[in-house]
């Protein structure tokens, strides 16, 4: 499943290629599953719109659309929302490129290219929305005070709190484990019991880990394709994730793996308290 850095990388890649382009027409597959908005409504709302910006909100890709027919200053209230689910991909391609199996949406652009959405497992979602801001706070933008307030009074483990999308949106399993290691916090600690200095450390660690992964082009353990269709993701060097039994990079203690909130959770029993 793509995590925040992958989604950010894809959103930026799609933005670079197609912002300013106009959607001429659309085609959608007959499957019911990826479409949160009926495909007729989606088709008529998308046609004629200019794609002003493509950006990440949580783990969603948001297309800000301007209405070319309106004489007023284009409003950004109309948005096309793409969630990649487990296996979703966006491709910007020439129209004569062969249609991949499991293609569910094709947008014809005025520049002559196509934007395609491909999703073999169909956990992805496409929808029309307005003023989408997502369920939780942005981990890259949240202030120290707001971050600390998220966890106040919460009895659940800090790892589970980090994964709760209504608190912070877009933090997945890999980056939760990696940021807790860097902040030297045991994943099982009750979130509400962490002191403010430890929470400040965690906020900075989370931001640093996410930014490093974005710089590296996202990291993923599943096979992954960039907006170009080129294989394009490097792994950041994980300190704990996927390293059960291997020596901690700081102290040499074997990394432990437990299951917490249903997810494999990796930590150093010596460095993380
Ligand atoms: Zn260690």
For residue 223, the CA-to-ligand 1 centroid distance in Å is 30
CA–centroid distance, 116 to ligand 1, in Å, is 45
Q: What's residue 244's pLDDT? A: 97
pLDDT for position 222: 38
Mean pLDDT for the chain overall: 89
pLDDT-above-90 percentage for the chain: 67
Lowest-pLDDT choice from 102-106, 171-175, 188-192, 223-227: 223-227
**Cβ atoms within 10 A of the Cβ of 189, count?**
17
Selecting among 56, 59, 125, 256, the annotated active-site residue is 59
| 95 given a catalytic annotation | no
pLDDT at residue 197 tops 70 = yes
**pLDDT above 80 (res 158):** yes
pLDDT band, very low/low/confident/very high, at 206 (cuts 50, 70, 90): very high
Q: Does the annotation count 257 as an active-site position? A: no
- Please confirm, yes or no, whether 72 is among the known catalytic residues: no
pLDDT score of 71: 53
Q: Would you call 2 a catalytic residue per the annotation? A: yes
pLDDT the model gives residue 122 = 83
| Ligand 1 geometric centre to CA of 210 (Å) | 21
Is 242 a residue whose pLDDT tops 70?
A: yes
The mean pLDDT value for 138-157 works out to: 96
Is a pLDDT exceeding 60 seen at residue 235?
A: no
Stated pTM of the model: 0.83
What pLDDT is recorded for position 220? Answer: 47
Give me ligand 1 centre to Cα 133, in Å. Answer: 38
Contacts 24+ apart (CB under 8 A), 195-202: 196/148, 199/144, 199/147, 199/148, 199/151, 200/144, 200/147, 200/148, 202/147, 202/158
pLDDT at 199 over 70: yes
pLDDT of residue 73: 55
181 Cα to the center of ligand 1, angstroms:
8
Residues 6+ apart with CB under 8 A from 162: 168, 171, 176, 179, 180, 206
Q: Quick one: angle between helices 173-182 and 196-215, nearest 10?
A: 130
- Residue for token digits 């990796």? 266
Average pLDDT, integer, range 43-66: 93
The model's pLDDT over 101-142, given as tens digits with 9 standing for 90+, comes to 999 999 999 999 999 999 988 889 999 998 888 889 999 999
CA 262 / ligand 1 centre spacing (Å): 24
Q: Residue 232 above 60 pLDDT?
A: no
């Amino acid at each position: 499943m793509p995590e925040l850095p992958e989604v950010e990388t894809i959103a930026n890649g799609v933005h670079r290629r197609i912002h300013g382009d106009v959607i001429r027409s659309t085609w959608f597959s007959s499957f019911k599953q990826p479409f949160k908005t009926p495909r007729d409504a989606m088709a008529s709302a998308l046609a004629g719109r200019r794609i002003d910006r493509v950006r990440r909100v949580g783990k969603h890709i948001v297309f800000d659309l301007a209405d070319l027919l309106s004489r007023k200053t284009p409003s950004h209230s109309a948005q096309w929302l793409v969630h990649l689910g487990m296996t979703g991909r966006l491709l910007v391609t020439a129209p004569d490129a062969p249609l991949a199996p499991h293609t569910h949406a094709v947008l014809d652009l005025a520049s002559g290219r196509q934007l395609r959405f491909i999703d073999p497992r169909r956990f992805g979602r496409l929808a029309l929305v307005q003023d989408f801001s997502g369920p939780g706070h942005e981990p890259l933008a949240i202030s120290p005070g707001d971050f600390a307030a998220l966890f106040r009074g919460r009895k659940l483990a800090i790892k589970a709190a980090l994964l709760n999308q209504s608190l912070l949106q877009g933090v997945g399993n890999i980056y939760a484990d990696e940021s807790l290691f860097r902040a030297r916090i045991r994943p099982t600690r009750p979130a509400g019991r962490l002191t403010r200095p430890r929470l400040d450390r965690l906020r900075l660690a989370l931001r640093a880990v996410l930014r490093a992964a974005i710089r590296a082009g996202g990291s993923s353990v599943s096979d992954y394709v960039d907006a170009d269709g080129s294989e394009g993701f490097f792994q950041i060097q994980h300190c704990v994730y996927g390293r059960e039994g291997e020596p901690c990079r700081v102290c040499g203690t074997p990394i432990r793996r437990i299951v917490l909130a249903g997810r494999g959770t990796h930590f150093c029993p010596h460095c993380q308290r």
